[in-house]
């Protein structure tokens, strides 16, 4: 993960970035088939699917539309990023999450970390940061989890 621009100083970006780290760790364990029994495999995939779903909802309710509003994300690029969210879920649902799927997910995350997060840091004012935090709360509510902020 990137730390050079200082975007992690902003709570919503720090939250998304920490989730990226957790997602990549779990995704690697799923790709490497770290579990010795079928129940463990199902549980690992389910945990990854739940983390990805909540995280994608935060981005799709907050980060992406706000970046589109500032002109720092095109509709086409947003559509591609959202398609990538759906693709990783389809691979997980099909139980074919392997190293290739892991690296595709890692590339998606790298694009967000290196380009979108720093773009948000430079483009967003207080109103956008507040809206992004509200979007994270809405996403947590939609997924039935407590939000730490």
State pLDDT tens for residues 58-76: 999 999 999 999 999 999 9
Calpha distance 86→89 (Å, rounded): 5
CB atoms within 10 A of CB 141: 11
Calpha distance 68→106 (Å, rounded): 23
What average pLDDT score do residues 81-110 get?
Answer: 93
Calpha distance 128→84 (Å, rounded): 24
Q: What is the pTM of this model?
A: 0.89
The residues, any chain, with a CB within 8 Å of residue 106's CB and separated by 6 or more, are 24, 27
Give, for 113, the enclosing helix (H) or strand (E). none
Which of the two residues, 110 and 9, has the higher pLDDT score?
110
Which residue carries 């380009």 as its tokens?
Answer: 115
What topology does CATH give the domain 10-142?
1.20.120
CA triple 62-66-71, angle to 5 deg:
155
Q: Please report the pLDDT score of residue 147 as a whole number.
A: 61
Contact 67, 117 (CB under 8 A): no
What average pLDDT score do residues 4-22 get?
Answer: 78
Which of the two residues, 143 and 149, has the higher pLDDT score?
143
Q: Which CA distances in Å does 47 have to 3, 11, 34? A: 27, 24, 14
What average pLDDT score do residues 27-49 get?
Answer: 90
Q: Please report the pLDDT score of residue 1 as a whole number.
A: 46
Phi and psi angles of residue 148, each rounded to the nearest 5 degrees, phi first: -75, -25
- pLDDT score of 136 more than 90: yes
Q: Please report the pLDDT score of residue 3 as a whole number.
A: 54
The residues, any chain, with a CB within 8 Å of residue 33's CB and separated by 6 or more, are 41
The residues, any chain, with a CB within 8 Å of residue 16's CB and separated by 6 or more, are 55, 58, 59, 63, 112, 117
């Amino acid at each position: 993960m990137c730390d050079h621009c200082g975007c992690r100083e902003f709570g919503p970006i720090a939250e998304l970035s920490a989730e990226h780290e957790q997602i990549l760790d779990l995704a690697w364990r799923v790709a490497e088939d770290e579990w010795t029994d079928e129940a463990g495999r199902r549980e690992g995939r389910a945990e990854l699917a739940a983390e990805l779903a909540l995280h994608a909802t935060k981005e799709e309710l907050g980060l992406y539309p706000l970046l589109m509003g500032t002109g720092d994300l095109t509709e086409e690029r947003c559509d591609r990023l959202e398609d990538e969210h759906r693709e990783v879920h389809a691979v997980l649902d099909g139980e074919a999450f392997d190293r290739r799927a892991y690296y595709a997910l890692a590339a998606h995350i790298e694009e967000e970390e290196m380009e979108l997060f720093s773009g948000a840091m430079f483009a967003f004012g207080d109103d956008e940061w507040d809206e992004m935090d509200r979007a994270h709360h809405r996403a947590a509510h939609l997924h039935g989890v407590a939000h730490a902020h």
